[in-house]
Amino acid sequence: MPDKPIEGEKRVFMTGNEVVAWAALVAGAEIMYGYPITPQNEIMHYWTRLAPKYGREFLQTEDELSAGFTTVGGVLAGRKAFTATAGPGNTLMQEPMSMAEAMRLPTVVVIQQRGGPSTATVIYSQQEVTMTTLGGNGEGLRIVYSTATHQELFDYTIKAFNTAWKYRFPTFVLGDGYQAKMRESLTIYDPASRGIELVEAEPFLGKPGVPGVDRPPTQLRNTYNVEEELYEVLEGYFKDYEKIAPEVAEYEAFDVEDADLVVVSHGVVSRACKAAVKELREEGIKVGYFRPITLRPLPVDAIRETASKARQFLVVESANGQMARLLKEAAFGCPVEMLSLFKPGVGITAEDVVSRVKEIAG
């Protein structure tokens, strides 16, 4: 059995779902629990073809509730377990991920967003932002990476396992149907060849020794008897989250220093925005580009700094303002005017962005 799925690096031309399967392999994922839903199916298809060659496991469960809870079980046993889902599957996944949040379990979930609400389309959207960042009953103590390219899908899937096991918050890679299904070129690599150290997994349950004799038993619960008991636990979690947020938060920006208007977007839509900003700059229009890479936690300081320099934010989303709501909260009190280009469930082109900016500029 070969040790390493990838030696050094390799230039490839792949679909996003295939990229995720390779990234999970090189990240040391040991077991995937999954349930079919479009557009993430091929993650499982590639995983089930690749995994046995490297001694990794797979289980196709009866539904997403089970896929989420078996992933939780795998993590409890000390394995790097993950799952992938979309749309109504993401809805069902909120129950197990809420438990992972309650118990601080390093689960990794890849979401390939589709249209909503409910079944809607199986193709594409950015409508799972609210659910992925804040879903479940609770406070949304999670980490969510929103990827824009296949290269990022690879990089951030690897990173998601490291972030999850380092900080012990449920971690999501938020892609979409376009990223899942389209093919583009990227470099896949062995993380070690780039000096990326993989965080080791360790068991929560079933550690060596006899519980109660050699060590105290590990007893995890997510039920508390009184309000104060829960409050105390959550206070600790909030403190931890607040502390790690600046370390975890990531963004990408350019041309914001002198911009009157900054185009803000995330995920695949940012590619159209990036092209539009470059085009508008060439025409001499002072626009900037800003993209949160982590939607949870948001790069709040960078958003506030940008929002206090620019006069206007143009928020561009394939959703009806799901990221915009997060931005408004982050930029609260900043004198920036929030403008929008929302096309829920529909792709956005550079031309759409250019014409919207020109419309605003008059």
Partner 1 sequence: MSVQPAMPKSWRVDTKPHKFCPGCGHGLVLKALGQAIDELGIQDRAVFGCDIGCSLLAWDFFNVDTIQTHHGRTTPVITGLKRANPNLIGIAYMGDGGGYAIGSQHLVNAASRNERITVILVNNTQYGMTGGQMAPTTLPGQKTETTPYGRDPEKTGYPTQGPEMVAAITREGAYVARGTVANLRQLKNYLKKALENQMAGNGFSFVEVLSTCPTNWRTNAEETWKMVEQELPRYFKVGEIKVPGQKEGEANG
* Residues within the interface to partner 1 (CB under 8 A): 30-31, 33, 57, 59, 61-63, 65-66, 69-79, 81, 95-96, 99, 203, 205-213, 217-223
Of 73 and 321, which has the nearer Cβ to partner 1? Answer: 73
Minimum CB separation of residue 225 from partner 1 in Å reads 9
Cis peptide before 39 (omega within 30 of 0): yes
For residue 34, the surrounding DSSP H or E stretch is strand 31-34
Of 193 and 218, which has the nearer Cβ to partner 1? Answer: 218
Answer whether 356's CB lies under 8 Å from 317's CB: no
Minimum CB separation of residue 157 from partner 1 in Å reads 20
Of 62 and 200, which has the nearer Cβ to partner 1? Answer: 62
Minimum CB separation of residue 226 from partner 1 in Å reads 13
Task: Return all residues near 243 (Cβ < 8 A) that are at least 6 apart.
Answer: none
* DSSP letters for 72-128: HHHHHTT--EEEEE-HHHHHHHHHHHHHHHHHT---EEEEEE---STT--SS--STT
Minimum CB separation of residue 142 from partner 1 in Å reads 17
Of 78 and 321, which has the nearer Cβ to partner 1? Answer: 78
Minimum CB separation of residue 101 from partner 1 in Å reads 12
Of 215 and 311, which has the nearer Cβ to partner 1? Answer: 215
Token output for 148 = 């824009």
Answer whether 171's CB lies under 8 Å from 158's CB: no
Q: Among residues 249, 303, 301, 292, which one has the least CA distance to residue 269?
A: 292
> Sign of dihedral through CA atoms 222, 226, 230, 232?
negative
Minimum CB separation of residue 76 from partner 1 in Å reads 5
Separation between Cα atoms, residue 250 and residue 271, nearest integer Å: 17
Residue 333, phi-psi category: left (phi > 0), alpha (psi -120 to 50), beta (remainder): left
Of 99 and 262, which has the nearer Cβ to partner 1? Answer: 99
